[in-house]
Structure 1
């Protein structure tokens, strides 16, 4: 499977998992000049911005270890832009930044709530 197709499959798996846990999908693959947010969902009052990491294996590092501080900053800045463009006040809106880490071999899905 090509990397883009793997990423899409990972995002679909993440959405299905989160939906089963009561979250509501708002948007996928939000892009702006500041970066991209893989998935945006609602969890009650919280707007949840989700970074999905998908790897075929963890030979070099775990999926979670591959998340960089620069990636976290890009997601945060993109979330701020999203809020502004949707006229949501970032100081009065409950936010959460989650990570879904998926490894194909061995088959694992980890949901890290409030990851950064």
Structure 2
């Protein structure tokens, strides 16, 4: 397993723990389909939350959240639509959140949770 893959897994665990601590429930990790992947699918009361997790060691080329391009957003939306269709979910409110993680100190990370980060157009 590469160093970047390991960091990605750790970032997703950290993000999941953060969301669980804020009252969300985990539905699924790493949902994959031909359109792409969704890092975390969570539930917040009656809403389904599709979460993109981004980790950056530094902000030299933009922040973790800034790295979620329009193209990536479209892939996440298509993947979410596939998930909803496969699970036969019709009338459940949904939203797309993003979590950006950057190291703050050797043992800590800075977590930014952007609720409703993007929407269907």
The answer for the alignment partner of 2:16 in structure 1 is 15
Paired with 1:58 and 1:23, the residues of 2 have a C-alpha distance of 28
- RMSD between aligned residues: 1.2
Q: Distance in 2 between matches of 1:20 and 1:105?
A: 20
1:109 aligns to 2:116 (yes or no): no
Give every structure 1 segment of 4 or more consecutive aligned residues whose post-TM-superposition deviation is greater than 4 Å: none
Alignment partner, residue 99 of structure 1: 98
Q: Distance in 2 between matches of 1:65 and 1:98?
A: 13
**Normalised by the size of structure 1, how large is the TM-score?**
0.94
CA distance in 1: counterparts of 2:18 and 2:89, whole angstroms: 27
Match of 2:80 in 1: 79
User: Where does structure 1 lack aligned partners over 5 or more consecutive residues?
Assistant: none
CA distance in 1, matches of 2:75, 2:102: 23
Between the aligned partners of 2:13 and 2:21, the Cα distance in structure 1 is 12
Q: Secondary structure at the match of 1:9?
A: helix
Greater displacement, 57-66 / 75-84: 57-66
Q: Hey, what's the Cα distance between the residues in 1 that align with 2:83 and 2:64?
A: 26
Question: TM-score under structure 2 normalisation?
Answer: 0.90
